[in-house]
Structure formats: structure tokens, C-alpha cells
Amino acid sequence: MSADDDKKLAAQSAVDLVEDGMVLGLGTGSTAVFAVQLLGERVKKGLKIKGVPTSDSTEKLARSVGIPIVTLDEFPALDLDIDGADEVEPSLCLIKGGGGALLREKIVAYASKRVVIIVDEKKLVEKLGKFHLPIEIVPFSRGLVQEKVDEMGAKSVVRVRDDRVFRTDENNLILDCDFGLIEDPRALAQKLSLIPGIVEHGLFIDMVERVIIGNDGKVKELTK
């Protein structure tokens, strides 16, 4: 079984939770892509759902597979959010933002009654932090925020993709921050939230109901 097979298996389990009439959060990343494609297959067979996408790329994919797109203005409370993650620790705190969509992903997760995360086994860790924490910042604040997070013990770099400074869907920058292993994700999340210029960070704390893990052809779950 490849990592993609495991991602698809996890995605299938999450999509099985979807019922007629639901308004869904649609995540971003390679695992969420499987979920959106599988939802599209169910929509073609008659499933009635609506989706709020967490990125421009997910919106494009969702439209292409026939999922009706709505906004949080129309539906501020979502039934279920299905998204991926970069790291998951035992109390279901996450690092997200590897795909640069953490801001909309966190807004959509917050808006959702239930958040289900789909990953392959490699995303499970004892402590967060091997995956460098993505932080979305307003470009104007870059020097200040880098100085502040570096003072907090991080090594931070502005994300570059394909030789260009990466811009999020909101035209912000991402700082990828190496804090080492994060002993207290809640405390770090609170500190980061106090720094002006940080729009959002990729620590998702107490937001998740269930993590579905694909591992070597089997599915297991972590719940709160």
C-alpha cells in the first residue's frame, strides 16, 4: 500500500460520515483532494451537499466534480469539516498549513460542528514540531514578527515556492518556524496570537473531534 492509498482510505472513511443535506468544510492538500473527489462521486449518484472550500485550489476542484459551493456568509455554521494535517499528536492538537491554507482552514474548522482530520500514519507524532510551524503574516510585519518569533527561540524563514516568495490566497506571507519539539502547544498558540502582524498560526488546538488514519490498507481512529 502506498501513502496515497492510505490517504484515500482515510478520505473514504470520512466521506462515509457525510449525509444528505450537510454543509461541509472542504479541506486543502493532497489528502483532502481525495475526499473532495470521493464526495464528487457521491454527488454524481445523488448526494445533496454544499461545500465551503478552504482554498482557491479546493474551490476549483470541488466545482469541477460538481459540489455546489457556498460561503460562510450564507452558512456560518457548518455540519462537518474534512481536512488533512501535517502533524497530529495524541491529544489531537495539530500542525496545519503545509499547503499554505491554514487561515481559511482554521476559520472553517471553527465554523464547523464537527472536524474530522484525515491522514496517513506518518503524520502521527508524540510531540509536534518536527514539521516547522507555518505562520501566516501580513507582509508589512515580516521583520517585526521574525524578530519576535526568533526571540521566542524559533528559527524562521519566509516560505519560497518555485523560486518565488509564496503568497497565500489572502496575499499574505508564510513564515515556516522551527521551534524544535513543542512541549506546550497551547501556551505557544496563545503567545503567537498576541503578536500583531500574525494573521493566524498553524497550531489547531481543541478543534478536532476525530482523526482518521490510513495505515497499510487499514483504517484506525483517534478520538477525544
- Which positions are catalytic? 105
Smallest gap from residue 171 Cβ to ligand 5RP (A): 16
| Residue 53 interacts with ligand 5RP (CB under 6 A): yes or no | no
| Residue 51 interacts with ligand 5RP (CB under 6 A): yes or no | no
Beta strands 50-53 and 78-83 are unpaired
Query: What separation, in Å, do the N-terminal and C-terminal C-alpha atoms of the chain show?
Result: 28
Selected from 67, 101, 173, 203, the binder of ligand 5RP by CB under 6 A is 101
| Residue 28 interacts with ligand 5RP (CB under 6 A): yes or no | yes
| Residue 97 interacts with ligand 5RP (CB under 6 A): yes or no | yes
Cβ proximity to ligand 5RP, 20 vs 171, nearer residue: 171
* 67 C-beta neighbours (distance < 10 Å), count: 23
10 φ/ψ angles, rounded to the nearest 5 degrees: -65, -45
Selected from 25, 51, 53, 84, the binder of ligand 5RP by CB under 6 A is 84
| Residue 40 interacts with ligand 5RP (CB under 6 A): yes or no | no
CA distances from 204 to 16, 84, 107, 160, 189 (A): 24, 12, 11, 23, 8
Selected from 6, 105, 136, 200, the binder of ligand 5RP by CB under 6 A is 105
Interior angle at CA 11, CA 172 and CA 88, nearest 5: 60
The helix, strand and coil proportions of the chain, stated in percent and rounded to the nearest 5, come to 30, 30, 40
Residue ranges binding ligand 5RP (CB under 6 A)? 27-32, 83-86, 96-102, 105
